[in-house]
Every structure is written in C-alpha cells, then in structure tokens.
Amino acid sequence: MDQGGERYGSGKIKRPHSNLCWNTKANDIINELRLSKQFRNCPITIIDDRIDTKPIDDAKVFFVRGNASEVSVLQRANTGEAKFAVVLAEDSTPVADQKTVLTVLAIEKTNPSIVSCAELNDANNEEHLQRAGCDILINPSVLISRLLAMSLQNPTVNKVIEELVSQVGNEIYRIELPQRCVGRSFADSLQELKKSHGVITIGVERNGNCLINPHSDFTLEATDFLLVIAEEAPSL
C-alpha cells in the first residue's frame, strides 16, 4: 500500500479495511478508532465529493474524491475488499437520509459481505436503510434525547455512557458463550465470569435480540452471545 495517504483520483487503493463517508464528525470517529487495537493501524479510505484533499493528517488514511453512492467511485476506493463501511449523513435533515440509503445500496452491491454502519436522521427512514442492507443504524438525535432525559434523573448516567462508548477505560463487548456456561443460569455465569476473568455480564444476545439483565434463572443456550463490560476484549 502506498504510504502518505494522498488523494487517489484514479486507480485502486490496495486492500483498505474500512471505507468512511466524510463529514465533520468523521475526524472524531477516526481518532476514536485509532484508540482501538483492531483499528489502530488499519487503512481507512475517506470518500467525499465536496472536498479536494485528504482532510486528516494520518498516514494510513486515504482519500478518494467522488460520490460514494456511485459504484465506480466505490470500486476506486476498493470497497470490494473492505471489511467495514461507515456512512455519515451529509447534513442533519431527513432529506439527507435519501443519499445515505443510496450509498448503502451501492456499498452492499459492491461488497455484500461488508459490515455497514449508517447515520440516520429520521426514524421514518429506518425501514429503507434496513431494506438497503444496512447492518447497523445509529440515530444520534434519538440517543441524545434519551441521554439528556436520563441524565436529568441521574446526573452520573452521561459519565457512565461516555466511558462505555470510548476506547479508553471499560467497554461493552459481545463474546461467544463459553462452552462451560451452556445450560447454566445467567446468575451462575455472571458470578463465575466475574470471579475468573473480572468481567461483568450485563446481558445476552439471542437470535439477534439483546436481553439486558435477564432474570437470574435465565438459562443460557449454546448459540447465545454474552454482553460484558471489561477493560479489554476478554478471552474466555
């Protein structure tokens, strides 16, 4: 891979791990990713048609100028080889969701196995993004509204959430259920994993649904995933 992260107007960038559609929040996203072991050194390709040069000083960040909803632009960014894609809304209006949907459609067409995460402005457009194949939907306005309301009732909530969503300190991890926990109760596994690995089990993912703090006698199944809080990804 070429180093220096300059603009590539033609030709492909070799094997990027992530594509990122740029806006003012992207700089913070990249900085946060760089705190993660998984993304610390991975190449990231920014795609945008409103700027002319790479907007961030990072040797492993590359830039392709163009409309990310166009397959030819995604091909230049080598999206077919990428593992992840983050699509940020062009602005905060519901209309911007239309371009987000088109971009996700193009990304999924170029690389059906990619994990796509998109910013959503209007909850009414959620179904459109899901039909486009988007894996993860984030609606900042809803999250902010709920956090503000919760913080009024409990002023420490925002501090807890801030740490859990940062790469610094404790984080939430999704892990495969250890074989030794199959058939055991949630309470038994919570106690055992805290004692043996220092992690706090807060919930279970079953069939794509998240069950936070299930009943103590909730029986764990082999296909379940655990949601745990830990300082780093636990190896169980």
Using one digit for the tens of pLDDT, what is the confidence trace for 57-109? 899 999 999 999 999 999 999 999 999 999 999 998 999 999 999 999 999 99
How far is CA 151 from each of CA 18, 103, 144, rounded to the nearest angstrom? 34, 35, 10
- How much is the pLDDT for 131? 96
124 and 191, same domain (yes or no): no
95 and 185, same domain (yes or no): no
The total domain count for the chain is: 3
- How much is the pLDDT for 69? 94
29 and 126, same domain (yes or no): yes
**Can you give the CATH number for the domain in which 116 is found?**
3.40.50.720
Higher pLDDT, 126 or 1: 126
182 and 206, same domain (yes or no): yes
Angle 199-204-209 from CA coordinates, rounded to 5°:
145
134 and 152, same domain (yes or no): no
Instruction: With a cut of 90, say whether residue 191 has pLDDT above it.
Output: yes
Tell me, yes or no, whether 3 lies in a domain: no
111 and 211, same domain (yes or no): no
How far is 106 from 101, CA to CA, in rounded Å? Answer: 9
Instruction: With a cut of 90, say whether residue 235 has pLDDT above it.
Output: no
Query: For the segment 119-144, what is each residue's pLDDT rounded down to a tens digit?
Result: 999 999 999 999 999 999 999 989 89
- How much is the pLDDT for 8? 36
- How much is the pLDDT for 22? 63
Domain that holds residue 146: 140-169
Tell me, yes or no, whether 12 lies in a domain: no
How far is CA 44 from each of CA 37, 81, 97, rounded to the nearest angstrom? 14, 12, 23
What is 57-114 written as a DSSP string? --TTEEEEES-TTSHHHHHHTTGGG-SEEEE--SSSSTTHHHHHHHHHHHHHHH-TT-
- How much is the pLDDT for 2? 28
How far is 126 from 229, CA to CA, in rounded Å? Answer: 28
> pLDDT band for position 184 (50/70/90)?
very high
**Which of 34, 52, 55 is CA-nearest to residue 43?**
34
**Can you give the CATH number for the domain in which 175 is found?**
3.30.70.1450
59 and 106, same domain (yes or no): yes
Instruction: With a cut of 50, say whether residue 3 has pLDDT above it.
Output: no
How far is 124 from 109, CA to CA, in rounded Å? Answer: 23
Work out the average pLDDT over 181-198: 94
Tell me, yes or no, whether 42 lies in a domain: yes
Q: What percent of the chain has pLDDT over 90?
A: 64
Name the pTM for this structure. Answer: 0.76
> pLDDT band for position 5 (50/70/90)?
very low
Spacing of C-alpha 27 from chain mean position = 15
134 and 192, same domain (yes or no): no
